[in-house]
Amino acid sequence: MNTKPTWDTTIPFDFDGHEPNEKAPQSDLVTLLEESTVTLLPSDPVKQAMVKIFGGCPPEIKKSVIEDFEGDNFFHHAVWDTYDYSLNLVGARFYDIEHNQENSSYACKGGNFFNGEKLKDSPLLVTEDSTLAFITTYAVYHHHKVTDKGLKQLSQEAKQIYFVCSQHELLDYKRRFRDTGVDILALKIPCDITTNQSELDAEITGLIMASQSSEWDAPIPLIQGNTGINIPYPIDSLPPLAKLAAVAIAEHVQAPIAMTAQCVIGAMSHIAQSYVNAPDKHNPQGEPCSLFLLTEGQSGSRKTTSRKLADKAIIEHERKQYELYRRDLEQWKSGQAGLNKKDREAYGVENPPPNDPSTLYSDITLESIAGLYVDGIIKNASISSDEAAQFFGGHTMKSDTRNHALGGYTKLFDEGTVERTRSKSNLNGSGRAYDVRLTFNLQGQHEVLSDALKDPVLRGQGFLPRFILTIPENLAGTRLQDTSHQANNAHLDHRLVAYWTRCAYLLDDCPQPQTGHELHDGRFVMNMSEQAKQIDLAFYNEVERLQAKGQRYEYLQAFASRASQLARRLATVFAYFEGKHEIDATILSGACDIVRHSLVEWSRYAEIESKEENEAQKLLKWLIKKCTEQHVDRINYSNVQTSCPRPMQKNGKLLEMIIQQLEDSNYLRVETNGKKRLIVLSPFLLEKVTK
């Protein structure tokens, strides 16, 4: 029986390199294939086995198997179609599935197009990895040697296109395809025949979603420091209601948006920690969702006012609870008035005095707050202060008990437990408390925080790495006002009213609608959706890879290793505030962006930084200034060559090297427009510049 391919056996062209020659005379296809073929698969028993058993091979590429053919040239050969870079059918590949002989493997010049029917609904993956092409269910174009010209051509055939490689190949492919504009997805490990299809697709999906969360990656700190360059806070990553509140506070108070956003997140964390736990794959009951937040702000940066507006609903709730406590306390005192000592003691046993319900503290020691937890007076609390000096400069953090205090705070963060050990003469004061929560929201001046942030004990012991940090720009000198601004009333702003109303609802002691979740000490676990799990995996691998030697987080491993955990906690707080019953992809992507921003901020305090401005910083500041003045996001390369700061202006090789450094660090891109080269700045650097 002769089973023919799905295409004609004669075609109106022959093969000339990678391009067909349409003017050539018609020829027999088999003859052309024999005359113009290359080896399809090497003598690799694993890949040969894949072909022989069709393991993982999508059915649409198994066009036919020729059981018999004239001359025995193609006896028992698998036949696959081949495509050019425009996805046009140009020929076929033949493989001897019986003999597995290398000299029996032939390939028409072209690539394989897998899962083509999915192209209208999914991105096109391009790869040089034949194993990946066999396994994934995405639409894939595979070629043994993809060219930049071919990649550009393929990008015209698909709405979305990604080149897929292994992590160790990433830098090479970035340089090779730098002018194509195609995103590159780097898999954590190369594919092999044992790779699970669903796990591979999940990783690819996560990488695609992560790349779509921002067209540009967050800038990587320059090796010798970028402390003079502020990276804008990813305000769009907050839930809509929280974002509007942060923006409104920033407008009314004239404070940096990063500062007001941190204040809003601190308020949300204080509320959420009482009712919900973050997902933890090692613990079905989850882990605390409490957040530790740290914001740098100079004197007069409106720290206090920003925090009070963000915490307004909490402060009012605390005041009402305190008024009830005072009333109950007066009644309790009245009840024992006039009683003799013996009766007063009996009255106190039968009627314990009411407890102060306050949970929002600005200055409290670990010893004091541990006592409140152990005695059962409170289960949830926040240390929220715009004077971080009270904390970092206090007796506890300066005394011999500092290490004990730091260990206590980290245990509260990780496990929600606290222990108080007293001497044998005071055993009644000893005890433990479980399922308790603590949120930190500290703000302070650079001079106060600098020494603490660079303290090797605070960094290495793991206390500071648990904090989400932001270092807002200083707005002093730009906060001008007019009569209309002075007439604004923040308390009438609908954005803030909506935010405060939501906070008050979540703080209400009345039972909230049941979510169907199992409760653990009054809290339920906010699980992740399947898409969110893929993003979580991709983010974990992204940050883990960047901790390797020579990578951006090599010297921030204590901080970077916490990134995935912090993102899940932050996403839990966001999801609860939004009234959702699980963490979706959008919420987790936003949380990951904020944690990425925090890592960039932490790197500005890295010990490897130099206070001396280097050439890359000089050029970057000059580019930002020029683009801001002209209200554009790009500048001609030739203008940079003739006008940039010295010594780059007189040294073309130095300029090329520095531009490459800035491009590799995600500050800019070099694009080609015809014969012109353009330098395009990252939108992270230009908030108000329009194209």
Of 212, 231, 262, which one is at a domain's C-terminal end? 212
Query: By C-alpha distance, which of 545, 540, 591 is closest to 237?
Result: 591
What is the Cα–Cα distance from 667 to 627, expressed in whole angstroms? 13
Query: By C-alpha distance, which of 215, 219, 185 is closest to 202?
Result: 185
Query: Is the pLDDT at 408 greater than 60, yes or no?
Result: yes
Secondary structure of 184-231 as H, E, C letters: EEEECCCCCCCCCHHHHHHHHHHHHHHHHCCCCCCCCCCCCCCCCCCC
Tens digit of each residue's pLDDT (9 = 90 or more) over 228-275 = 556 788 898 999 999 999 999 988 888 889 999 999 999 999 999 999
Q: Alpha helices of 340-438 — where are they, by DSSP H?
A: 341-350, 366-374, 389-392, 395-398, 402-415
Sole residue written with tokens 């736990």: 277
Residue 37 is given by DSSP the state B
Q: CATH number, domain at 470?
A: 3.40.50
Same domain for 125 and 258: no
Same domain for 632 and 533: no
Q: How far is CA 80 from the centre of its chain?
A: 40
Q: CATH number, domain at 632?
A: 1.10.10.10
Query: Is the pLDDT at 118 greater than 50, yes or no?
Result: yes
Query: The tokens of 402 are what?
Result: 């500092």
Of 192, 212, 232, which one is at a domain's C-terminal end? 212
What is the Cα–Cα distance from 96 to 77, expressed in whole angstroms? 4
Query: Is the pLDDT at 186 greater than 90, yes or no?
Result: no
Query: By C-alpha distance, which of 294, 229, 263, 337 is closest to 463?
Result: 294
Same domain for 332 and 184: no
pTM for this predicted structure: 0.59
Mean pLDDT lowest among 175-179, 216-220, 286-290: 216-220
Tens digit of each residue's pLDDT (9 = 90 or more) over 331-379 = 888 888 777 777 777 777 778 888 888 889 888 888 888 889 988 899 9
Of 197, 212, 227, which one is at a domain's C-terminal end? 212
Most confident of 2-16, 219-233, 601-615, 621-635: 621-635
Same domain for 588 and 628: no
Tens digit of each residue's pLDDT (9 = 90 or more) over 40-68 = 344 445 544 544 443 333 333 333 333 33
Secondary structure of 257-288 as H, E, C letters: HHHHHHHHHHHHHHHHCCCEEECCCCCCCCEE
Helix H or strand E encompassing 116: none
Residue 235 lies in a domain: no
E-state strands within 297-400: 360-361, 380-385
Q: Which domain holds residue 570?
A: 241-477+487-603
List, in sequence order, every residue forming a beta bridge with 91; answer none if it has no partner. Answer: 82
Which position has the higher pLDDT, 425 or 172?
172
Residue 233 lies in a domain: no
Residue 147 lies in a domain: yes
> How many distinct structural domains can be found in the chain?
3
Pair 466, 230: CB distance under 8 Å:
no
pLDDT class for 110, splitting at 50, 70, 90?
confident
What is the Cα–Cα distance from 409 to 104, expressed in whole angstroms? 68
What's the confidence (pLDDT) of residue 25?
Answer: 36
Tens digit of each residue's pLDDT (9 = 90 or more) over 437-479 = 999 998 877 777 777 766 767 766 678 889 999 988 766 556 5
**Most distant CA pair in the chain: distance in Å?**
120
Residue 368 lies in a domain: yes
List, in sequence order, every residue forming a beta bridge with 360; answer none if it has no partner. Answer: 382
What is the Cα–Cα distance from 107 to 111, expressed in whole angstroms? 9
Same domain for 404 and 339: yes
Same domain for 626 and 499: no
What is the Cα–Cα distance from 585 to 65, expressed in whole angstroms? 43
What is the Cα–Cα distance from 349 to 336, expressed in whole angstroms? 12
What value does the mean pLDDT take over residues 207-229? Answer: 60
- Specify the pairing of strand 418-420 against strand 380-385: unpaired
Which position has the higher pLDDT, 570 or 484?
570
Mean pLDDT lowest among 8-22, 118-132, 278-292, 592-606: 8-22
Tens digit of each residue's pLDDT (9 = 90 or more) over 324-334 = 989 988 888 88
Same domain for 374 and 269: yes
What's the confidence (pLDDT) of residue 687?
Answer: 56
pLDDT class for 1, splitting at 50, 70, 90?
very low
Which position has the higher pLDDT, 549 or 138?
138
Same domain for 276 and 149: no
Same domain for 360 and 272: yes
Residue 2 lies in a domain: no
- Count the Cβ atoms, other than its own, within 10 Å of residue 237: 24
Q: Which residues contact 556 (CB under 8 A, 6 or more apart)?
A: 547, 599, 602, 603, 606
What is the Cα–Cα distance from 297 to 212, expressed in whole angstroms? 32
The percent of residues in the chain predicted with pLDDT above 90, rounded, is: 20
What's the confidence (pLDDT) of residue 467?
Answer: 93
Same domain for 626 and 597: no
- Residue 486: Cβ-neighbour burial (10 angstroms; 0-12, 13-18, 19+): exposed
Secondary structure of 56-109 as H, E, C letters: CCCHHHCCEEECCCHHHCCCCEEEEEEECCCCCEEEEEEEECCCCCHHHCEEEC
Residue 666 lies in a domain: yes
Same domain for 263 and 175: no
Same domain for 122 and 263: no
Query: The tokens of 73 are what?
Result: 């040239």
Residue 229 lies in a domain: no
Q: Helix, strand, coil shares of the chain as percentages rounded to 5?
A: 45, 15, 40
Residue 234 lies in a domain: no
Q: Is 491 in a helix, a strand, or coil? A: helix
Query: Is the pLDDT at 91 greater than 50, yes or no?
Result: yes
Which position has the higher pLDDT, 483 or 228?
483
What's the confidence (pLDDT) of residue 647?
Answer: 81
For the chain, give the mean pLDDT: 76
What's the confidence (pLDDT) of residue 119?
Answer: 83
